Structure 1
Amino acid sequence: MFREKVLKPRVSIVCVVRKSIIVMLGPAGSGKTSLVASLGKWIEKKQLVPVLYVNLDPGAPYTPYAAEVNIREYVKVEDVMAREKLGPNGALIRSIELAREYLPEIVERIGRSPKPYVLVDTPGQMELFLFRDLGVEFVEAMRRVGYIIGVLIFDHLLAARPQDVVSLRLLATIVQLRLGVDVIPVINKSDVSSETRERLSRALSDSSSLLEELKSERGLLGEMSEKVVGVLDEYRFATRVPLVSALTWEGLEELYDMLHEIFCACGDLT
């Protein structure tokens, strides 16, 4: 049931421990929720570090992890649909607007947790978090709690062509600019053929290889893609793009190592 908002004075956050915060983003169906669950279990099992799971999707009635902080405690899409007579899309947008009102309480709860690692699952429709105020306000508030890294997740099917790889790298840059955080792009569901994996790995990590593939694209598309790659190389923020599988846990160690390197470089040793 929808909880009526009670106006409170500004919340003072008391952090039990400075946290390493990972915000998962990606298009619908890319496997954000599954990867949150798998990476969290991997960290707990392999690194023996407690993980706090946070769900910011008001439309997710089930998650494969136990969310100790869950936006659905405050706002549920189905309740908004019934109360305000909205369709699914309209109710999602309205739910995100309502969720902003509870950010101080949500951030305070995260800050008070003794768990040093925080995994944040964002709405299935990435644009609701990235291009509306919820995402920016959440990230700004969470800076008082710890250091934040974004993980941008793509399905390998969305990186089948060389221009798709360019789009992935460009979107990672947009996420970085919009939220003001370091971003690691990853390819999820990497349990594909070795040939596909090798091509993806080569195109994602080696710009010369990607530019070679782009030569087969004639006209404006190929020319524009080549110029975009050149600009992205000047401001490159990730030296490698891990191929991971939420199903088999393949690549999670590499992803964790990259996360840990960034956290450590920023003085947050966990």
Structure 2
Amino acid sequence: MKVIFVAGTAGAGKSLLASKIHEYYTANGAFAAILNLDPGVISLPYTPDIDIRDSIDIVSIMKQYDLGPNGALMMASDLIAAKLDDIQDQADKINPDYLIVDTPGQIELFAYRTSGPYFIDNFRADQKTALFLYDGVLVTTAINFVSMALLATSIRLRMGIPAINVLTKTDLIADKISEILRWTTNLKTLENAISTEADGETYVLVTNILRSLNLSGFAQGLIPVSNVTGEGMVNLQGALSRILNQGEETED
């Protein structure tokens, strides 16, 4: 069993991409399953094979502990770690080739509290990788792109597993894709774009951060994908294969 954790900011398209990856693997002869790890989600574009909502009920937590929605989500996030053994047993019984994990919409609750990294580290699998979704609509400006790249790097450090950067919603930003991809490989191009958006102090701050972290290294390999058209799924599958299957194709 190989596990793919799908992570990103709220609204980046995690659940829909999880469903598209499942469809892609299934169409190509692989046995894939989806684990919904978001206890607060109301509706999903897929039917989960394993659902944390079967074990954790946000409404019940709010009533039992007299919490608001945010407090209940925080408690629910921590309870995910306590359900690890049950989820592991369910996954082992299904025993898919690929388990796609749709992580909570509030990324800070999963990645920055102890429960998320604990779950990733202790879940048993042959291989693990993560997808970090760059919301295409949000990263059309250079400042937003840098902010997202820094977040992606931070999340990767927290998760501690190989990660693939994915640019989503490309069908909505067709005129910006080429420029965004240039930012991932050409630091000077990105700095020039920042200079047109930021004042002197902000420009100096951002460019110093970029140079110290070497953006061309940590944002390289951004894969454009559209959940609507399916464009980019072949390239994404190839990147997943290189990590999970040592480059072997998924087809039988």
Fold-level match, TM-score > 0.5?
A: yes
Indicate whether 1:41 and 2:19 are aligned.
no
Residues 101-155 of structure 1, C-alpha deviations (whole Å, 9 max, x = no match): 111121232234321111101111111101111211111112x322211111122
> Which 4+ stretches in 1 moved above 3 angstroms?
267-270
Q: 1:8 is matched with which residue?
A: none
The range that moved more, 105-114 or 115-124, is: 105-114
Query: Where in structure 2 are the equivalents of 1:64-103 lying within 5 Å?
Result: 64-103=45-84
Tell me the CA shift for residue 195 of structure 1. 2.0
Q: Distance in 1 between matches of 2:249 and 2:111?
A: 28
Unaligned residue ranges in structure 2 (runs of 5+) = none
Q: Distance in 2 between matches of 1:224 and 1:151?
A: 28
Residues 189-214 of structure 1, C-alpha deviations (whole Å, 9 max, x = no match): 11124321222222234333212322
Tell me the CA shift for residue 188 of structure 1. 1.0
Q: Distance in 1 between matches of 2:249 and 2:204?
A: 43
Unaligned residue ranges in structure 1 (runs of 5+) = 1-18
Q: Distance in 1 between matches of 2:140 and 2:126?
A: 36
SS in 2 for 1:66: coil
Tell me the CA shift for residue 61 of structure 1. 3.3
Aligned with residue 133 of structure 2, among 153, 158, 163: 153
Cα RMSD after superposing both structures: 2.1
TM-score of the pair, normalised by structure 2: 0.90
Q: What is the one-letter code of the residue matched to 2:200?
A: G
Query: Where in structure 2 are the equivalents of 1:163-242 lying within 5 Å?
Result: 163-216=143-196, 217-233=198-214, 236-237=217-218, 239-242=220-223
Residues 184 and 216 in structure 2, CA contact (< 8 A), matched pair in contact too: no
Residues 32 and 153 in structure 1, CA contact (< 8 A), matched pair in contact too: yes
Q: 1:67 to 1:254 in 2, by over 3 A?
A: same
Q: 1:109 is matched with which residue?
A: 90
Q: 2:10 is matched with which residue?
A: 28
TM-score of the pair, normalised by structure 1: 0.84
Q: Distance in 2 between matches of 1:85 and 1:268?
A: 51
Q: 1:124 is matched with which residue?
A: 105
Q: What is the one-letter code of the residue matched to 1:29?
A: G
Q: 1:112 to 1:208 in 2, by over 3 A?
A: farther
Count residues with an aligned counterpart: 249
SS in 1 for 2:83: helix
SS in 1 for 2:34: strand
